[in-house]
Amino acid sequence: MVSEREGLPDRVGPRARKDGSPDREIRFRAAAVAMAQSILRNRFSPGSPNCPVLVEGIKDERALRTLGFSGVIERVNRGWDRSRLVAYLHDTYGTRNIVDNGPPLILLMDWDRTGGRLQTGFRDRLMALDVPVDETLRQVLLKVMKPEGRTVEALAPHSRTLVPMIDEALGEAD
């Protein structure tokens, strides 16, 4: 079935109820608002928190750049073991973001089984060092973008639809 609003396919039937809202535009708007909030925290500009995003690999980083993230994006797959990466994140970004007193790091792993394990592992290790993490973006994307894919890099093909919605949400936030 195709939505009359933007020509976007809507999910119907039992799977749609299981996956969340069948209206794709509503789901994409929720994802765009969450991404806009994370983009504001990630921006590298005076007065912004300049909060880095931790993703799995280079394709995830490219997808976020396509969607408008302009600040620091750290990658898990860089040839370091997890302990060294956690120590680097702790030493580099500290335990609090000094601009907004929020978490100093946005943790965004894929919402598949491997990504869930990575998310839990990094969250637990960082929180053991008193480094809170912002998981809001992943939680929203997990709920609303699951029908479109289970990875961060799967967001890139939807950038034509998402970027205008993100820009609109950023305009309302400014």
Within-domain flag for 6: no
Number of domains in the chain: 1
Reported as a single tens digit per residue, the pLDDT across 107-138 is: 999 999 999 999 999 999 999 999 999 999 99
What is the model's pTM? 0.84
Within-domain flag for 163: yes
The pLDDT confidence band at residue 46, using thresholds 50, 70 and 90, is confident
pLDDT over 70 for what percent of the chain? 87
- Residue span of the structural domain in which 91 resides: 14-173
pLDDT value at position 15?
A: 53
pLDDT value at position 10?
A: 53
Average pLDDT score over residue span 43-58: 89
In this model, does residue 55 exceed pLDDT 90? yes
* CA distances, 123 to each of 12, 105, 164 (Å): 35, 10, 31
> In CATH, what number is assigned to the domain containing residue 117?
3.40.1360.10
The SS3 assignment for 54 reads strand
The pLDDT confidence band at residue 6, using thresholds 50, 70 and 90, is low
Within-domain flag for 139: yes
| Mean pLDDT for the chain overall | 88
Q: Are 102 and 49 in contact (CB under 8 A)?
A: yes
